Structure 1
């Protein structure tokens, strides 16, 4: 039983994680701040660059999406708020807890409130996108 849930969660989570990360990255690109730092990127030529930081974000999003689908199969309370609760939980744990404690970024009270609001809304959209993909594929086992 668990093997079937995990197999279905792997490909639904892969699709949901990719789409959700692109939604969140796109949302945050609309509201860029002046303090946006340059990133290390690999040039493929012709003006095309590969940003490894965004690639890692997509991989983490895929992992968290698979985790969401598996969790939702066993406990549907995580789907409360159509996935936005999951997005808020991930923002609090990953962005504020882990990255803050590792000093990769400042805590939200050290940032302008506008950037914090944009980031939270981006994670709400991220969680919602994962939820929409999961309910769009009935094989995932996640239902309304």
Structure 2
């Protein structure tokens, strides 16, 4: 039973994590300036930039999607708000605890409110996308 849940969570989480990270990255790209994009990325010439922080987020998103699906199989309360509670928990954990402790950026009250709003909405959409993939593939074991 546990092996089946983990196996199904691995491949559904892989798909959900990739899709959710692309939704979040795409949403946040709508609100970034060109200067901010260039300072965060590595130029490979010809106006093409590689952003390794986004690649790290995709990998982390896959892992967190697998965790979300396994957790939802045992305790459905994490799916409250259609996965948006999970997105908010991850925003607090990553953006407000981990990255502040690593001094990558200040607490949200030291940032412009527009940037904080975009970050929160991006993570809420991220969690919602994971939830939609999980309920869209019933083999994941996550239901309404």
For the 8 Å contact 2:41–2:49, the answer to whether it is kept is: no
**What number of residue pairs does the alignment pair up?**
143
For residues 42 and 69 of structure 1, do their structure 2 counterparts lie closer, same or farther at Cα, with a shift above 3 Å needed?
farther
Does residue 1:61 correspond to 2:61, yes or no? yes
Consecutive unaligned residues in structure 1, runs of 5 or more: none
Deviations along 1:47-69, one digit per CA (max 9) or x if unpaired, are 65432211101000000000000
4+ residue runs over 2 A deviation:
39-43, 45-51
- Whole-angstrom CA distance in 2 between matches of 1:109 and 1:118: 14
Q: Compute the displacement of 1:108 (Å).
A: 0.2
The corresponding residue for 1:83 is 83
TM-score by length of 2: 0.92
- Whole-angstrom CA distance in 2 between matches of 1:47 and 1:103: 30
Question: Equivalent residue of 1:38, what SS?
Answer: helix
TM-score by length of 1: 0.92
More helix by share: 2
Consecutive unaligned residues in structure 2, runs of 5 or more: none
